[in-house]
């Protein structure tokens, strides 16, 4: 420990690990109240990093027995594998999981790099229908739409781009949902200085920092996402990560109020929800038919148990992730929501069962 000239302590942020001395009731849940469906997971992405979709390979060497035993231990009945694949790669993943189709469902995506082709509308429709025939039960749209893909003119392709209409129409026709991630945490679009609440996370992942580049702002992105939902009322959209804006449940509520085809998942955002427990609990009660469970972390019993503790107990000020992830999204802790059983059942399973056909 160093001291400066005035005698004050100096400590590097990375070395600061305070241990709370708070003593409150603690309920570590081993199991959730109902069997859970994890609607946001990525089992099959090998070598993915932001913007490198083409390089990503299907990971089809899982030990299914091990995977299913982890799911059983956490009472995860089914899991949705959101993949960045179409065509042959998608088929490989589907064939790999097919013997376990009672537990695993697969989503695919589309080739946005073909958007300039005059054949895009017919080709993309065909690819989606083909994927569906092989067993794909939904489409996953990654944040690269709006932040990465550019057309021939060099313009970013935004979520509300009219040229994408055939994609959403095909999903409506096949009655499969689109799980879409637009933008990222607000702090990723702000300067990386001593006021950025995700400073350490961005230091660890500089590729997630979207500020000061030739990119739309956070608000331009979510506005385009809202327009997409508004313009395609026949298509069901599951807005990933608490409607893209977990920091502002008022905004998310506005979208859910306006568009009955909008749903949200809670993946990777209990850190956000759990630091606004009063607002979050009201949000869950009001939108109990529109919220689905998801983790966005490879099946991990410890992780799932934190979600259950967050949703089911009124425990206070506990870590939103196991160590070593404990502070990964920001230096704060969370508070449980203590949701009642009716709401829990819908969020854990009933809502997603209404959105996805799990028979394939």
Per the DSSP assignment, residues forming a β-bridge with 141 are 180
Q: How far apart are CA 246 and CA 275, in angstroms?
A: 10
Nearer to Zn ion, 120 or 303 (CB): 303
Query: Burial of 105 by CB count in 10 Å (0-12 exposed, 13-18 middle, 19+ buried)?
Result: buried
| DSSP symbols for 285-315 | HHTTTTEE----S-S-HHHHHHHHHHHH---
Q: Which residue is nearest to Zn ion (CB)?
A: 296
Would you count residue 38 as binding Zn ion (CB under 5 A)?
Answer: no
Q: How far is the CB of 296 from Zn ion (least distance, A)?
A: 4
Nearer to Zn ion, 272 or 296 (CB): 296
Number of residues that bind Zn ion (CB under 5 A): 1
Nearer to Zn ion, 161 or 296 (CB): 296
34: helix, coil or strand? coil
Q: How far is the CB of 169 from Zn ion (least distance, A)?
A: 25
Q: How far apart are CA 78 and CA 91, in angstroms?
A: 20
Q: How far is the CB of 137 from Zn ion (least distance, A)?
A: 17
Sign of CA dihedral 251, 257, 263, 264: positive
Nearer to Zn ion, 81 or 296 (CB): 296
Nearer to Zn ion, 145 or 343 (CB): 145
Q: What is the largest CA-CA distance in the chain?
A: 71
Nearer to Zn ion, 13 or 204 (CB): 204
Nearer to Zn ion, 82 or 343 (CB): 82
CB 291 within 8 A of CB 266: yes
Q: How far is the CB of 82 from Zn ion (least distance, A)?
A: 6
Q: How far apart are CA 304 and CA 17, in angstroms?
A: 24
x/- track of binding to Zn ion for residues 286-305 (CB under 5 A): ----------x---------
User: H/E/C letters for each residue in 174-185?
Assistant: HCCCEEECCCCC
* Residue 221 neighbours by CB under 8 Å, 6+ apart: 146, 147, 158, 159, 182, 183, 244
State the residues that interact with Zn ion by CB under 5 A.
Answer: 296
């Amino acid at each position: 420990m160093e001291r400066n000239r005035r005698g004050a302590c100096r400590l590097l942020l990375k070395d600061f690990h305070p241990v709370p001395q708070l003593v409150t009731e603690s309920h570590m849940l081993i199991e959730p109240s109902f069997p859970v469906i994890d609607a946001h997971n990525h089992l099959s992405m090998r070598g993915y990093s932001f913007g490198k979709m083409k390089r990503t390979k299907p990971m089809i060497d899982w030990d299914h027995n091990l995977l299913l035993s982890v799911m059983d231990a956490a009472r995860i009945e089914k899991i949705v594998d959101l993949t960045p694949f179409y065509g042959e790669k998608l088929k490989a993943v589907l064939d790999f999981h097919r013997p376990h189709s009672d537990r695993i469902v697969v989503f695919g995506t589309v080739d946005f790099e073909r958007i300039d082709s005059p054949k895009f509308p017919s080709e993309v429709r065909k690819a989606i229908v083909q994927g569906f025939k092989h067993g794909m039960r939904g489409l996953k749209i990654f944040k690269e739409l709006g932040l990465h893909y550019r057309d021939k003119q060099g313009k970013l392709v935004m979520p509300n781009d009219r040229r994408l209409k055939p994609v959403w129409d095909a999903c409506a026709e096949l009655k499969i949902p689109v799980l879409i991630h637009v933008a990222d945490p607000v702090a990723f679009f702000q300067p990386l200085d001593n006021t950025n609440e995700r400073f350490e996370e961005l230091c660890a992942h500089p590729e997630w920092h979207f500020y000061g580049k030739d990119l739309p702002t956070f608000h331009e992105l979510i506005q385009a996402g809202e327009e997409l939902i508004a313009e395609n009322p026949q298509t069901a959209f599951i807005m990933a990560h608490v409607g893209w804006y977990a920091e502002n449940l008022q905004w998310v509520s506005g979208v859910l109020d306006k568009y009955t085809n909008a749903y949200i998942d809670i993946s990777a955002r209990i850190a956000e929800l759990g630091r606004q427990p009063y607002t979050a609990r009201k949000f869950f009660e009001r939108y109990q038919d529109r919220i689905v469970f998801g983790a966005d972390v490879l099946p991990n019993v410890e992780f799932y148990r934190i979600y259950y503790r967050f949703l089911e107990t009124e425990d206070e000020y506990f870590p939103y992730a196991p160590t070593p992830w404990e502070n990964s999204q920001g230096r704060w802790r969370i508070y449980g929501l203590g949701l009642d059983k009716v709401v829990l059942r819908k969020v854990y399973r009933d809502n997603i069962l209404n959105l996805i056909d799990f028979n394939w």
